[in-house]
Structure 1
Amino acid sequence: MKKLFLFPLLLLAVFSCSSDSSSTPTPNPVPEAMYFPPNDGSSTWETKTIADLGWNQNAVQPLLDYLELKHSKSFMILVNGRIVMEYYFNGHSATTPWYWASAGKTLTSTVTGIAEQEGFLNITNKVSDYIGTGWTNEPLAKENLITCKNLLSMTSGIDDYVNNVYSDDVTPSSLNYKADAGTRWAYSNVYVKLQDVVASATGQTWSNYFNNKLRDKLGMTGSWIQSGNNSVYWSNTRSMARFGLMALNNGKWNGTQIVNQNYFTAATNTSQNINLSYGYLWWLNGKASYHMPQVQTEFPGSIIPTGPNDMFMALGKNDQKIYVIPSKKMVVIRMGEAADNVNLALSDFDETLWEKINALYQ
């Protein structure tokens, strides 16, 4: 009887101790607030170390060696807005400007959204409402099918080839009918007509409106420089990172909504049902299929299988990159020469680069 009596008492003591220990729960860590660098032109920018994040220090040097081997000029990683890695290679420096190439398409997308939120234009309206008819070589009825949204989503139907050669010429004689707007996806330079739309709709030059409404509000530097048939943005690497940080925050910069969040959400999600991996001049990872520039083939799977599925990207010729990863609160920047051969936007470099970035935190 003595043993039977003691056993329940022991159980009571165990349950009592268990109850006492659970009454003081371990507090959850407070999420780190998003950081935005000041717009005062100073070099101030908060940092985090690899050790602070608990990342793998041994993975840093292989990543840097690969970047230098592949003709990179700069590389940055931001987490929650803070610089975790910032490196320059091959004679480049923090103050040296470099071209964005087609990564700058996302600047045009963003400013188009700003002009729409200010009431100057509507992206569902036809392009000729703003810049007049005859801006293409198409029959008028076909030209009038092309909306600003078609330019944003690369579905204008304009032939991306002239005399069987891929063309970036946007003079009217080179903009020929291939298909009705909205029925064909083709990576083309004709998107640049959106800059004319914005200029006409706002009554300002493209550069002035861009500078006032986007560049200066983010504390960016840089300018548009004419290159052949195109106007190309040049800036230092941190300016590219500032834009990426705004994108990470759904069009917001330090509490100020630069571009309407609904528009920005649409811009960074599938914009049409032909190329699932394309938004409004942004590339999208993690989709079921994708198209590449210059071809009409649909490829199965994600653009960068090694990259995060929620990543959206500004990609430019010769491997200019802005990768935005919401799930990791991370922005990655790469500027430089072509990693391998000259390419328009995508290359095998992306996949290998992401294997090495993943090694930092996996």
Structure 2
Amino acid sequence: MKLPKIVLVLFGLLTIVSCSSDNDSPNDSDPQNGTIYFPPLNSDNWETKSISELDWNETELQPLLDYLENKNTKSFMVLHEGKIVIEAYFNGHSSTSPWYWASAGKTLTTALTGIAESEGYISIEDKVSDYIGTGWTSANIDKENLITCKHLLSMTSGLDDSEGDGVEPGDLQYIADADTRWAYHNVYVKLQDVVSQATNQSWDDYLETKILNPTGMSGSYFNVDDFNVFWSNTRTMARFGLLNYANGIWENNQIIPENYLNDAVNTSQNINLAYGYLWWLNGKSSYHLPQSQFEFPGKLIPNAPNDMYAALGKNDQKIYVIPSKKLVVIRMGQAADDENFALSGFDNELWEKINALIN
């Protein structure tokens, strides 16, 4: 196939430089010893970087794009130090089309929880019931009061994941003490209630004020199959990936507290080494998967860089952040193969194709 009709790909001698503004200056405190570019807040202008400039293998670009299109992809972006290297749209999708983040949006909850803590509204070490009252689960009071906000961030609440993803008290049954069992569960959304109660603001309003507006992100939560799911265009997802790559900074503003974010993208408990605060972590010696208590040996995504951390959503919604490569990679679309909850074999196949390009 030829390059997608709606695609921005920079390679060879082609270099597209977008119009600049007072808001698109680089930040000179990149932890990866470079400069991070931040796109302006209220403009579609976004500076670019060519594949030739990066000395990547240009001949591997078309096979990557063909693979993505064949795998039901709607959009794909690669940022290097914040600048766009690849931006491609497939299957009728465009730069303005919204799509759902699914569980990749859990990391929005991570970020906003950290902001609420930095502003003194909450402490993640506190009991969840300190903020939303007792009786939010069906566990007895002693067991419920073992569950802290940090346990929701790390998926170690001890609540029974076999009961489904409802979060009414009847759905939240005790199975083990908090911090003794890792289980992927929708109970994390109770953190949104915690933050709303503590700040006396709606979750949507607090998110807009603290993250969306300061970074130029757009998007909204919509109810899909009884789940409140974040939807946005691809560039908004890329802005959020860039915010995390930059250690929580946008321009000269510390949006997400750096120490908290560092904790969030490192192992949060000793059961699933490949899980931080709602972020998946590569390069660990073992990992657990959703709906399983089995420990698998080896890296989460063998073909991906060891330092990569990722927001992974149902049907292959992806935010990959790779500090060592100075990359943020975004994929939105339908399931590449079979329907899945977060991780799939597509991750490893995709990274084989990406490696062929960037290496």
Same fold (TM over 0.5): yes
In the aligned structure 2, how far is the partner of 1:194 from the partner of 1:110? Answer: 11
Q: Does 1:238 align with 2:267?
A: no
2:162 is the counterpart of 1:169: no
Counterpart of 2:297?
300
**Is 1:192–1:230's contact at 8 Å kept on the other side of the alignment?**
no
% identical aligned pairs:
65
* 8 Å CA contact 1:170, 1:229 repeated in 2: no
1:227 to 224, 227, 231: 224
- Once residues 226 and 133 of structure 1 are traced to their aligned partners in structure 2, the CA distance between those partners, rounded to angstroms, is 26
> Counterpart in 1 of 2:176?
179
Q: Return the offset for 1:168.
A: 1.1
* 1:263 paired residue among 254, 260, 265: 260
The C-alpha deviation readout for 1:295-346, integer Å capped at 9, x for no partner, is: 1000001000000000000000000000000001100000000001110000
Instruction: Answer yes or no: is 1:288 the counterpart of 2:285.
Output: yes
How big is the shift at 1:350? 0.3
Equivalent runs, 1:66-105 vs 2, <5 Å: 66-105=67-106
The structural deviation recorded for 1:32 is: 4.9
Matched, 1:35 2:37: yes
Pairing 1:144–2:145 present: yes
Please tell me the residue identity of whatever aligns with 2:225.
G
Tell me by how many angstroms 1:231 deviates. 1.1
Q: Deviations over 1:19-76 (max 9, x none)?
A: xxxxxxxxxxxx7521000001x21000011111111110000000110000000000
Cα distance per residue 1:129-157 (max 9 Å; x no partner): 00001111111110010000000000000
Aligned partners of 2:53 and 2:34: how far apart in 1? 12
The corresponding residue for 1:120 is 121
**1:158 equivalent in alignment to 2:155:** no
Q: Please tell me whether Structure 1 or Structure 2 has the larger radius of gyration of its CA atoms.
A: 1
Q: Which runs of 4+ in 1 moved over 6 A?
A: none
Report the CA distance between 1:113 and its aligned residue. Answer: 0.2
1:188 equivalent to 2:155? Answer no
* Whole-Å separation in 2 of the counterparts to 1:332 and 1:280: 20
Structure 2 residue runs of 5 or longer lacking an equivalent are 1-32
- Matches of 2:237 and 2:83, distance apart in 1: 14
User: What is residue 17 of structure 2 aligned with on the other side?
Assistant: none
- Structure 1 residue runs of 5 or longer lacking an equivalent are 1-30
TM-score by length of 1: 0.89
Aligned to 1:351: 348
- TM-score normalised to structure 2 length: 0.90
The answer on whether the counterparts of 1:285 and 1:309 sit within 8 Å (CA) in structure 2 is yes
* Greater helix share, structure number: 1
Equivalent residue letter for 1:145: L
- Following the alignment from structure 1 to structure 2, what is the Cα–Cα distance between the partners of residues 176 and 356? 43
Shift of 1:259: 1.2
Tell me how large the CA RMSD over aligned residues is.
Answer: 0.8
* Match for residue 322 of structure 1 among 307, 313, 319: 319
Name the residue aligned to 1:333.
Answer: 330
Cα offsets for 1:213-234 (capped at 9, x unmatched): 0111110010011223421100
SS of 2:76's equivalent in the other structure is strand
SS of the aligned residue for 2:68 comes to helix
Structure 2 residue matching 1:161: 3-state secondary structure? helix
Deviations 1:151-182 (A, max 9, x none): 000000000012xxxx1111110100010000
Post-superposition offset of 1:356: 0.3
Distance in 1 (CA, whole Å) between partners of 2:342 and 2:49 is 30
